[in-house]
Structure 1
Amino acid sequence: MGTQEQPEGWRDESEERLRAFIENAPRKMWIARPDGTVEFFNREWRDYTGQSSAEDMLNWREAVHPADRPRLDEVRGRAVPLGQPYDVQVRLLRRSDGLHRWHIGRVSPVHLHGRLIAWIGAATDIDNRVRAEAALRESETNFRTMANAIPQLAWMRDPADYSIWYNQRWFDFTGTSMEQMQNDGWWTVIHPDHADPMLEAVTAARAEGRSWEYTAPLRRRDGVYRWHLFRAVPIRDETAGTITRWFGTSTDINEQREAQERQRLLTQEVSHRVKNSLALVAAQLSLQARASDNDDARNVLMDAYSRVLTIAGVHDHLWRQYDASFIDMSGFLHGLCRKLQETAPGHELSFTGDRVIVPTDQAVPIGLVVNELVTNALKYAYPGDRGGPIRVTLRRDGEDAMVLEVTDRGVGLPAGFDLTAPTKSLGMRLLVNTVRQINATVDAERLDPGTRFAVAIPVGR
């Protein structure tokens, strides 16, 4: 069955329709002859380039950026003789402002009955996309340059804790590859004794979406472990606020760690020697007190013995703990009360308290305050040989304060007792001055029976 011939007028009308479609298309289009010579540019092209005359048709390459013309000629030169479609990215001059904007041109051959009769092309403005991609590449390049230049090892992981990226310093230090770091591979370079506790801490922080830091030894490429401070922060989507990745650094702190360890050992050694020296002084005071026939002198010597023993107790506590810059007052006061109990077996001295951490230089005056209050209760609360209970308590009062109380059930305070009034008692003067030294306040309360001293102490940092 043959193909029916269409009337000549129908073909002319179809060609006019095609030209009308191309003329009014919302993108730059053109038709060229089989040899590639442009025959027609549509309105979008003419409005953009300002080329509208027949002469402009011949000089259409003037609209192409000079730097892009060789590439255009090369692509066209290969495709046109073979009758093959081609794509090419070039910058086209916008006549209205003289700017060149990136376009992608797509040109296809038109065949009729197996014969090439024309070329049809379209150019789409992709300038915004090209510039955005270039800006992104520049941003990524700048980021990688910066990340590789910083002295820390840097890395990124996704919300599921899979590796995304490590800087070159990480690979240089650990001797690993990106393939080895995928999934949970990075835990293999953490010291085995620290991997599980670190994983537990990191998992908890990630579940809460908060920044985290952890100190652990990291294995160097030669197998030596060096202490590193790991820090990571969540990167969130600006719109939804969800975490898109985690960015972290690992800083080598091995030298600082070793220096701190040497300082810790030195401080422990000094505290141990000071404790021994003070214990020797206390022993001498105790011997002199027992050898004295004068009751007043004996009491003075025993008071001095107790105070020196208290200071020695602080240093004894310090050299036994890891960090000598802070001290747990609950543990220290428990030990102090136990030693004071040994000097007064006829009384029942007890301690209860919250765990409160204070700087070491605050521990000595607090210990002296407890020593004076307890010693005072031992001397005066229960006259004669009668013994009784003395209770020491320590409790937190908010984040920045604590309250120390010493309570007895004895005869109570003498009439007219006033802490603010001048006194001949060395113990009371020492108490008031020590309380003032640590910016604390002390109150005395009469009970039925007994007395309660309450000392409000700000906690140092």
Structure 2
Amino acid sequence: MRNKDTELNFLMGGGEIGSMMRNHDWSTSPLGHPETWPQSLRSVVGLLLNSKFPMFVAWGPELGFLYNDSYVDVLGGKHPQALGRRFYDIWSEIWNDIGPLIDCAMAGEASYRENLPLLMRRKGYDEQTWFTFSYSPVRDESGQVAGMYCACFETTAQVLNERHRIKENERLHQLFEQAPGIMTVLREPDHVFELVNHAYLQLIGHRNPIGKTVRESLPEVEGQGFFELLDEVYKTGKTYVGSRMPIDLQRQPQGPLEKRFVDFVYQPIKDDAGKVTGIFIEGSDVTDHYHAQMELQRLNRELTDKVTQLESAERRAMESAQQAERERSRLDALLEAAPVGIALVDINGKLIRINPANKILWGETLPNPENVDEYEEWKGWWADHSVRHGRRLQPYEWALARALHGDNPRDIVEIEPFGMPGVRKTMLNCGAPVRNTEGRIIGAVVAQMDITDQIHAEAALRESEAKFRTITDAMPQMVWSTLPDGYHDYYNQQWYLYTGVPEGSTDGEGWNGVFHPNDQAHAWKVWQHSLATGKQYEIQYRLRHHSGEYRWTLGRALPIRDGSGKIIRWMGTCTDIHDQKLAEEALREADRRKDEFLAMLAHELRNPLAPISAAAELMEVASMDPARIKETSRVISRQVRHMTGLIDDLLDVSRVTRGLVTLEKQELDVKRIVSDAVEQVRPLIESKRHHLSMELAREPAHVVGDQKRLVQVLTNLLNNAAKYTPAGGNIHLKMETTEHEVILSVKDNGIGIAPELQRHIFELFAQAERTSDRSQGGLGIGLALVRSLVELHDGSITCHSEGIGKGSSFTLHLPRLMAQERPTSDRHEIRFTSDPEKRLRILVVDDNEDAGNILGMYLEALGHEVIVERGSRRALERARIEKPEVCILDIGLPDIDGNELARRLRAQPHTAHSTLIAVTGYGQEQDKMNALAAGFAHHLVKPVDTSELLAILSTLKLS
């Protein structure tokens, strides 16, 4: 007696679900108690219970549902009620999505889905989820599909994260476009432009320097010292900071030089080994600031002059006081109205005057130092990205202190205003000494500008640009962008790698020149329409690849709009779809040829069916004499042989083209091949009254090959020549030899071959295009078979025709076997003899009653004892009683197939040594191998070649 606990060992372990299965009430489950489960289900359940991957199995006609601990999170509130229930009752809300996949699994076909969206109700409400999973069939002990098996994992978080990442990338791109700072990257010792932003292009007049050196792009800068500074930074690896650097630029084509003032930081770019590989330049165009400062200095000079005038006026006379007061009022008005912070100090550094803007910068509690040493109270740090960046300013380093020594400093510093602990501001400090009429320094002035927002914007722009270019260069598509008016100003590296054009050469409208000439006008028209309407740009065109080939490409672009809906930029991609386009064209061509072949095949099969049907009806209704019956029988036999030939041709070309034919190679005399082929085709040639001439080489010519197949090749060529040559035509067969080849050619003066067909003449079904009346018959596979057989003999075949009505010629080249290379052949022929006195007991099994009865009548007419059965089980019973020496079995039987019936007959003592012959419509090589493995001694394909069957029976001996 079996122990119950032992019966349930496969449920041991498995965590919470394993424990639930052992204690579950299975009385209401379609699965029944686990003790009754088949071994195949137990194996699958044991596997999923011990897996940490979410899994379930659905078993039986009602798909009872079982799962593991890892699947509990997927079920949510449906657990634990789901255990053992019907699959549909658990997941009815998503059945429309998964039902077809379940049907496929139960039909024996596995499936896989990635990120499939499912609207699930597992927590009392509908929630959108995504899953990646596979459904696989599970078979029982008999090999039948009894259930299905699933491994899955939820990808909802990944899908939502990917959508969030796309939105973030769009935001970074907008930040990049809005950043005002100047930035560019130079590479190599020659300082080749690798990256530039829009602000830099504005500075140099929208010239595109990408891929060019600085000297090539900005020749007018020669002699202004910039090239030398770049060389120094690249050579030494030291950062250079330049303030208010004057530069003369030609910002308009053929225009005059324009002086601009720029703040630049030249930062070396180093590799992991510390070697300088390029220079990163950032800065800002401060021309407007410079002119404002110059105006301020002018005012300062005016102020100094006025102060001097006031001092002189006080010494000269009281009458000058009124004029001095007016000048002081003007100065006060200037200081009050100035948008930058201004401070004046005396020769000792004592603060004597500040304007309101300065108080806004430093706070209302600004101290009043008596001298430079008291500048220690001011908190400031260098912020110029030099080696001193971040270091605290000493009292003597402030711009006012240095101006008192005659300097004109221009510094970028970060300060902490008084009374605002923790607050930081970035300022531009510009100082200048104040001199009297004798040129002696009597004080100093400083102008201070808050540039905090500008610094933050420039930093954000640098980060955004780096992310944007990294993302676009990593994409497999070509990415580009334009200004709102359609001016192309950016391409990623994929564009230049794909097209091979120099960087910058397709900016503006240069892109249209890379398109195929026939596509340029249309592409330009569609692009202009999108620019005018703001609608999405999408088009397919041919783009010139760097190899020179024009390849089909899908172009798409979308507008980017600001908060008011105004288009501020266009972003686009180009995707290579050339292989897809070619595949679609090839598929359409294959579909067309398939339809033509099916129509032609139907035509060819109906042709012999018509006389067969007419002959059968004639034999049924008419009283015919023996001569008429014999003639009718010949018609049927002749048409059956024709249909058999068509089917054999199809199977033959399938086996040959798939490499499933084994050649019986031996040394062959080519003249013998020619003789056999001519003998086979002579009836057709004579029936059409053709004149066949032959020109054969005198010397012997031998090859290594298969006699039957080479005769088949030459017969096919001669048959084609005869069929496609009008009656009374000429056919010339020629054999030539060279040192290494035997050359056979067949030439006719028939209908010829059109030039466009000659390229496809050796492809399958090409004959369907050769003649429109289909009068010659055939499936159009002969020449495809010929080429395959010739190539199996290491030869080649060519075709030539001058055109329609000018005849055609086919030339066959085979490797010649010289005398010293001829192998010794041990091939011998097997000849069968027939003994008409021999009587055999034969069992015929065929579910087609007519086929079985006709074969039985034929064998009885030959003198044999025949038993005919339609079913396998009845045939086994008759075989035990009748003990047949020969069993002729159909393979495609309905209850037990012929291969299984053969195995059972071999297992019975009375038929263990009987000769088993398979008669079937399945003629592939694998079918034959399956039959021999099941115990058959011979494999014949329907309709049976009676001469082959008689040859087999004639060799058998009575037991």
TM-score of the two chains, using structure 1 as the length reference: 0.51
Indicate the residue corresponding to 2:138 in structure 1: none
Shift of 1:32: 3.2
**Residue 188 (1) aligns with residue 510 (2):** no
Aligned pairs for 1:256-335 within 5 A: 256-280=580-604
CA distance in structure 1 between the aligned counterparts of 2:317 and 2:603, rounded to whole angstroms: 123
Change (3 A) 1:249 1:109: same
Contact between 1:22 and 1:30, CA under 8 Å: does it hold in 2?
A: no
**Residue 141 (1) aligns with residue 466 (2):** yes
Indicate the residue corresponding to 1:63 in structure 2: 379
Change (3 A) 1:25 1:75: closer
Change (3 A) 1:134 1:199: same
CA distance in structure 1 between the aligned counterparts of 2:541 and 2:499, rounded to whole angstroms: 14
CA distance in structure 2 between the aligned counterparts of 1:216 and 1:175, rounded to whole angstroms: 18
CA distance in structure 2 between the aligned counterparts of 1:24 and 1:194, rounded to whole angstroms: 62
Indicate the residue corresponding to 1:252 in structure 2: 576
**Residue 232 (1) aligns with residue 548 (2):** no
Shift of 1:186: 1.1
Indicate the residue corresponding to 1:30 in structure 2: 343
CA distance in structure 1 between the aligned counterparts of 2:571 and 2:522, rounded to whole angstroms: 20
Aligned pairs for 1:335-354 within 5 A: none
Query: What is the CA deviation profile of residues 77-136 of structure 1, one whole-angstrom value per residue up to 9, with x for unaligned ones?
Result: 997477353322211113424122111222232222133211111322221222123222
Query: What is the CA deviation profile of residues 394-416 of structure 1, one whole-angstrom value per residue up to 9, with x for unaligned ones?
Result: xxxxxxxxxxxxxxxxxxxxxxx
Indicate the residue corresponding to 1:39 in structure 2: 351
Change (3 A) 1:6 1:288: farther
Contact between 1:211 and 1:231, CA under 8 Å: does it hold in 2?
A: yes
Contact between 1:51 and 1:60, CA under 8 Å: does it hold in 2?
A: no
Q: Could you tell me which amino acid in structure 2 is paired with residue 31 of structure 1?
A: L
CA distance in structure 2 between the aligned counterparts of 1:231 and 1:34, rounded to whole angstroms: 68
Change (3 A) 1:218 1:24: closer
Query: What is the CA deviation profile of residues 260-292 of structure 1, one whole-angstrom value per residue up to 9, with x for unaligned ones?
Result: 344333333323322322344566777789999
Shift of 1:246: 2.0
Query: What is the CA deviation profile of residues 41-68 of structure 1, one whole-angstrom value per residue up to 9, with x for unaligned ones?
Result: 7481795395526489624475112535
Query: What is the CA deviation profile of residues 156-201 of structure 1, one whole-angstrom value per residue up to 9, with x for unaligned ones?
Result: 1234332221112212222223542133211111122322333333
Change (3 A) 1:127 1:265: same
Indicate the residue corresponding to 1:402 in structure 2: none
Shift of 1:155: 1.0
Contact between 2:416 and 2:423, CA under 8 Å: does it hold in 1?
A: yes
Indicate the residue corresponding to 1:242 in structure 2: 566
2:343 match: secondary structure: strand
- Among all aligned residue pairs of Structure 1 and Structure 2, give the percentage whose two residues are the same amino acid: 28
CA distance in structure 2 between the aligned counterparts of 1:13 and 1:213, rounded to whole angstroms: 73
Query: What count of residue pairs does the alignment treat as equivalent?
Result: 291
What is the root-mean-square deviation of aligned Cα atoms in Å? 4.3
Indicate the residue corresponding to 1:103 in structure 2: 427
Query: What is the CA deviation profile of residues 429-460 of structure 1, one whole-angstrom value per residue up to 9, with x for unaligned ones?
Result: xxxxxxxxxxxxxxxxxxxxxxxxxxxxxxxx
Contact between 2:381 and 2:392, CA under 8 Å: does it hold in 1?
A: no
Shift of 1:243: 2.7
Change (3 A) 1:47 1:191: closer
**Residue 83 (1) aligns with residue 410 (2):** no
**Residue 115 (1) aligns with residue 437 (2):** no
CA distance in structure 2 between the aligned counterparts of 1:141 and 1:52, rounded to whole angstroms: 43
Shift of 1:137: 2.9
Among 543, 565, 568, the residue aligned to 1:218? 543
Contact between 1:83 and 1:116, CA under 8 Å: does it hold in 2?
A: yes
Contact between 1:154 and 1:170, CA under 8 Å: does it hold in 2?
A: yes
Query: What is the CA deviation profile of residues 281-327 of structure 1, one whole-angstrom value per residue up to 9, with x for unaligned ones?
Result: 56677778999989xxxxxxxxxxxxxxxxxxxxxxxxxxxxxxxxx
TM-score of the two chains, using structure 2 as the length reference: 0.27
Larger CA deviation: 137-146 vs 56-65: 56-65
Q: Could you tell me which amino acid in structure 2 is paired with residue 103 of structure 1?
A: M
Contact between 1:157 and 1:247, CA under 8 Å: does it hold in 2?
A: yes
CA distance in structure 1 between the aligned counterparts of 2:370 and 2:436, rounded to whole angstroms: 29
State the structure with more CA Rg. 2
Contact between 1:157 and 1:163, CA under 8 Å: does it hold in 2?
A: yes
CA distance in structure 2 between the aligned counterparts of 1:71 and 1:224, rounded to whole angstroms: 64
Indicate the residue corresponding to 2:479 in structure 1: 154
Query: What is the CA deviation profile of residues 7-65 of structure 1, one whole-angstrom value per residue up to 9, with x for unaligned ones?
Result: 59959989998799869987644333447x45357481795395526489624475112
CA distance in structure 2 between the aligned counterparts of 1:56 and 1:254, rounded to whole angstroms: 78
Change (3 A) 1:180 1:53: closer
CA distance in structure 2 between the aligned counterparts of 1:77 and 1:41, rounded to whole angstroms: 13
CA distance in structure 2 between the aligned counterparts of 1:97 and 1:123, rounded to whole angstroms: 20
Contact between 2:351 and 2:369, CA under 8 Å: does it hold in 1?
A: no
1:188 match: secondary structure: helix
Q: Could you tell me which amino acid in structure 1 is paired with residue 345 of structure 2?
A: A
CA distance in structure 2 between the aligned counterparts of 1:134 and 1:103, rounded to whole angstroms: 16
CA distance in structure 1 between the aligned counterparts of 2:616 and 2:526, rounded to whole angstroms: 61
Among 93, 103, 109, the residue aligned to 2:416? 93
Change (3 A) 1:283 1:38: farther
CA distance in structure 2 between the aligned counterparts of 1:55 and 1:97, rounded to whole angstroms: 24
Query: What is the CA deviation profile of residues 319-350 of structure 1, one whole-angstrom value per residue up to 9, with x for unaligned ones?
Result: xxxxxxxxxxxxxxxxxxxxxxxxxxxxxxxx
Contact between 1:30 and 1:38, CA under 8 Å: does it hold in 2?
A: no
CA distance in structure 2 between the aligned counterparts of 1:69 and 1:14, rounded to whole angstroms: 44
Change (3 A) 1:6 1:201: same
Q: Could you tell me which amino acid in structure 1 is paired with residue 343 of structure 2?
A: W
1:266 match: secondary structure: helix
CA distance in structure 2 between the aligned counterparts of 1:262 and 1:78, rounded to whole angstroms: 82
Change (3 A) 1:201 1:25: closer
Contact between 1:29 and 1:45, CA under 8 Å: does it hold in 2?
A: no
Contact between 1:49 and 1:93, CA under 8 Å: does it hold in 2?
A: no
2:523 match: secondary structure: helix
1:65 match: secondary structure: strand
Contact between 2:554 and 2:577, CA under 8 Å: does it hold in 1?
A: yes
2:495 match: secondary structure: helix
Change (3 A) 1:271 1:185: same
Q: Could you tell me which amino acid in structure 2 is paired with residue 96 of structure 1?
A: M
CA distance in structure 2 between the aligned counterparts of 1:93 and 1:281, rounded to whole angstroms: 99
1:140 match: secondary structure: helix
CA distance in structure 2 between the aligned counterparts of 1:19 and 1:69, rounded to whole angstroms: 35
Structure 1: gaps (5+ residues): 295-461
CA distance in structure 2 between the aligned counterparts of 1:189 and 1:172, rounded to whole angstroms: 13
Change (3 A) 1:162 1:60: same
Indicate the residue corresponding to 2:367 in structure 1: 52
